[in-house]
Amino acid sequence: MVTLELEDIQGYIIRGYARMSYSRFVLLHVPREHHDAHRWIASIADGITTAAHISKKQDIPPTCLNIALTAVGLKALGLQKENVDSFNLEFREGMVTPHRKRLLGDFDDSDPSKWDWGSTEKQAVHIILMIFGKDKDTCLEYFDKLRSDYISNGLQEVLQLDGQTLPKNKEHFGFRDGISQPVIIGSGRIGPDNNMIKAGEFILGYENEYGVFPDTPLVRKEQGNMNLLSSDAGGSGYKDLGRNGSFLVLRQMEQDVEAFWDFMNEKTKNPDGSVNVDESAKLAAKMMGRWPSGAPITKYPDKDPGVLSDDDDFGYHQNDPDGLKCPHGSHLRRCNPRDSFEDNSAKESLELSNRHRIIRRARLYGQPYVGSPLDRKPEGKVGLLFNCFNADISRQFELIQYTWANSTKVKQLYNDPDPIIGTRQSAHDGLPQNFTIQACPVNKTVTGLKRFVTIKGGGYFFFPSITAIRYLATLK
């Protein structure tokens, strides 16, 4: 049995901080001159929250702290080019290259040139400081203490992104969120057998679902205090900068709640034009793959049981092979096909699906608001700070977005993108964007899908181990 070095792993990747109801993510820039970022990093290293298990609830601290860096941030701290180049290409290039824009579907109002942060036109983001508190006051009081220190050491703020969790873990469209999460083998947590995933899918330095160790960044050119780092387990003779680290993807996703529910209401309205609340919610649930309560459509195809649910112990191969309960094109089924991947057997499907999992985290911004068919107009802008962890950005996050969500082909369907995150504001080449609900004897096609989410910023970050954080502080 693999045992993770939890005290060397930053906590957010495993613990999720469910008790931290408020957060502030601070995007920082390291200027070329007149800074002491290294001293500041060294000063906070001992305060970084780890993944070590806390057995008693009363011992859970009121705040948590984590840190991550972009490729340009590593360069700004002084990591030599040869060492930065040992990171994978996706991380080094970032999220806003023309190629990555096509992969992720960042067009029209989601084009990086229109982002609030993270684009080449904006001040470069080097570091993200992730601050969590049991409530808003606690979080912001902790932030004030941290801010005075990083400002006095010459770091510059690019932007502050405040986030929160809502009661019942609902997101702004109105659905219970964060349920479908893999459980990392060796983390001390348990879950259904088909959801236990090898650590190397998410954390560098451990075997992954292919039975190999993921690529890890190595210090090829000596610099800093090399004694802090362990040697490469692959036998290269270099020091391993990546062990116990991960890659963090952050996307700021603005949600158009009014457009979302207007669409559902229009497609399901009564003959007299009035809103059919039940049918509107049912269509939205079919698109999501879960009911607002969190209950999976594949277990409750006709009606929301109404009781809050975190049920993630189900498959499709035996109970819903034809998508008659949970449509093949639903967001949930596309982004994690489980045991029903194209025409493969249940065993092969599960193996393939588990090689493309991500650990998903999310924080909501804007008004604390939960939408519904009859309550669909929040005050001001609202959205979701999507965070996910993976050991291979290309094989995990990017594949899910490009191949599974943005693609219009799935299970003999040819014009069906993911209805939640895969539609385009301006349909590509004028092609239709549909959502098909499998039925017998005739499928039902919902036409004219619209884009309900706009990307407002994003980036790829290295989420280093505690050891690597201490090492980076020595790069003077």
pLDDT value, residue 69: 98
d(CA 103, CA 80): 29
Nearest to 422 by CA among 404, 405, 403, 408: 405
pTM to 2 decimal places: 0.96
My answer on whether 466 and 451 are in the same domain is no
d(CA 455, CA 323): 30
My answer on whether 44 and 127 are in the same domain is yes
- With beta carbons less than 8 A apart as the criterion, state whether 114 and 122 touch: no
d(CA 327, CA 295): 15
My answer on whether 327 and 239 are in the same domain is no
The H-assigned helical ranges of 225-320 are 257-268, 277-288
Query: Burial of 107 by CB count in 10 Å (0-12 exposed, 13-18 middle, 19+ buried)?
Result: middle
- With beta carbons less than 8 A apart as the criterion, state whether 463 and 68 touch: yes
d(CA 476, CA 434): 55
* Residue 390 is assigned to a structural domain of this protein: no
Q: Which residues of the chain have pLDDT under 50?
A: none
My answer on whether 31 and 135 are in the same domain is yes
* Residue 389 is assigned to a structural domain of this protein: no
* Residue 191 is assigned to a structural domain of this protein: yes
My answer on whether 37 and 179 are in the same domain is yes
My answer on whether 293 and 342 are in the same domain is yes
Taking only Cα atoms into account, the Rg of the chain, rounded to an integer number of angstroms, comes to 22
Domain that holds residue 448: 255-358+396-456
- With beta carbons less than 8 A apart as the criterion, state whether 28 and 125 touch: yes
Query: Burial of 46 by CB count in 10 Å (0-12 exposed, 13-18 middle, 19+ buried)?
Result: exposed
- With beta carbons less than 8 A apart as the criterion, state whether 199 and 344 touch: no
Nearest to 68 by CA among 104, 14, 27: 27
The H-assigned helical ranges of 201-246 are none
* Residue 374 is assigned to a structural domain of this protein: no
My answer on whether 452 and 462 are in the same domain is no
Q: How many domains does the chain have?
A: 2
Q: Give 258-266 contacts, CB < 8 A, sequence gap 24+.
A: 258/376, 258/377, 258/378, 259/450, 259/452, 260/173, 260/284, 260/371, 260/376, 260/452, 261/173, 261/371, 261/372, 261/373, 261/376, 262/376, 263/450, 263/452, 264/373, 265/373
* Residue 308 is assigned to a structural domain of this protein: yes
My answer on whether 167 and 309 are in the same domain is no
Query: What distances in angstroms separate CA 358 from CA 111, 222, 289, one per listed residue?
Result: 24, 33, 18
My answer on whether 221 and 325 are in the same domain is no
* Residue 467 is assigned to a structural domain of this protein: yes
My answer on whether 239 and 264 are in the same domain is no
d(CA 375, CA 281): 12
My answer on whether 409 and 321 are in the same domain is yes
Give the β-pairing of 156-164 and 22-29: antiparallel
* Residue 209 is assigned to a structural domain of this protein: yes
Bridge partners of 63, per DSSP, are 133
* Residue 34 is assigned to a structural domain of this protein: yes
Structure tokens at 275: 């809103």
Bridge partners of 383, per DSSP, are 254, 365
My answer on whether 420 and 468 are in the same domain is no
Q: How many CA atoms lie within 13 A of 325 on its CB side?
A: 19
d(CA 60, CA 434): 47
d(CA 226, CA 367): 47
174 Cβ contact list (under 8 Å, min separation 6) = 284, 292, 370, 371, 372
